[in-house]
Amino acid sequence: MKDFKYADEGISSREIMISLPAVTVGVGILSLPREIATLTIAADGWIAILVAGVVVTIITWLTAKVAASYPGESFLTYASKLVTKPVAILFTIILIIQSLLLSAYVIRVIADIAKTYLFDRTPVEVVSLTFLLVVVYAVAGSRAGLFRLNMLFFPIIVVITIVLSLFSLGWFELENLFPLFKTGIMDQMKAVEVSGLAFVGFNILFFYIALVKDTEKSPKASVYGMLIVISIYLLIFFINLGVFGNAVTSNLVYPLIELAKEIEIPGGVFERFDSVFFVIWLMSIFNTTAMSVDVTIYAFQSFLKLKKLTYLFILAPIIYIIGMIPEGALEVGKLGTFIGYFGVISTSGIAVILFLLFKIKNGRKKKLATK
């Protein structure tokens, strides 16, 4: 297997900006409206999405700020300067586990969804394996190539989301969004918690900012990337609530796909818009999986400099086996919830710890310099 070598393996801050939503917006958004609608009244869920998004955006900025302060250095290298090497190794292992579990979860969920809506006679195991093999082929190539794919795919995903929203306006009922501000504080807190799980993926900043050429622009670009994620989540949530209402949305397994099934393109261009939507949304899910697998390999390479293909052929079977362990939708859902909590808590904790130590050590250096 030969991969195409780019003349320059470096990436730009713009590619980081696009990669964040490309990785974050995946399978979680398909069920997020249901999970939020279950806990809130009418359209009050927008508050939870916004609050969770702002908190994650702040943590994203902290992550990017620390990583950008050590241009060209791997996560293990600059983390060792802040928290000692043993702790840095522990942090790296935690982030590896997070990306590995996320990859396994995504290939399982995409197989379950594909079986439900597209390939009802094809075993889940076959769909998962096929999808994983495509991901393996992509990851085996240039790392810079994955970022180019993000730049190519993500605008298409944004366009299909806007098209879906526009053609849903015919069924949109404004009264479905009211009454406002009726959800209790405790329910809103739970909704914020659930919303936060949909923002897993910003851990890629710990590793990939080392590849960025205009490093000083990375923190701002990362914030813009997360703002794109918040905007997409809010748009999809409002459209689902406006079309189906709170009660119906809370009882749909995948409200976004059900919304796509309701769409009819004028002139009969597409008889089943949901099939087109699902195929295009696969691009987003592909981005999530490919970047998660690649960042796992990238993190491993900071310990042991083996070839990417060696790691890939070792990790691919592990990812597949983990993805096939859950039996039924209930266990898959529990795995997803665990990964969400584990990812958000671990990544946020590591980001805050590194940022605080970075500020403390920088403050000491400035004091020594003035003496």
Q: What is the pLDDT of residues 130-183, one digit of tens each?
A: 999 999 999 998 888 899 888 888 888 899 889 889 988 888 999 999 988 999
The ranges assigned to domains in the chain are: 13-352
Global pTM reads 0.92
Per-residue pLDDT tens for 102-120? 999 999 999 988 888 878 8
Percent of the chain that is helix, strand, coil (3-state, to 5): 80, 0, 20
**CATH topology for the 13-352 domain:** Amino acid/polyamine transporter I (1.20.1740)
Pick from 157, 106, 159, 92: which is nearest to 135 by CA? Answer: 106
Do residues 197 and 341 lie in contact, with contact meaning Cβ atoms separated by under 8 Å?
A: yes
* Residue type at 238 in one-letter notation: F
Per-residue pLDDT tens for 55-102? 999 999 999 999 999 998 999 999 999 999 999 999 999 999 999 999
Pick from 271, 251, 37, 9: which is nearest to 146 by CA? Answer: 9
Structure tokens at 179: 């009454």
Do residues 77 and 304 lie in contact, with contact meaning Cβ atoms separated by under 8 Å?
A: no
Alpha-carbon Rg of the chain, whole angstroms?
21
Helices (H), 218-327: 218-249, 255-262, 273-301, 308-324
From CA 345, how far away is CA 203, in angstroms rounded? 11
Pick from 191, 204, 150: which is nearest to 52 by CA? Answer: 191
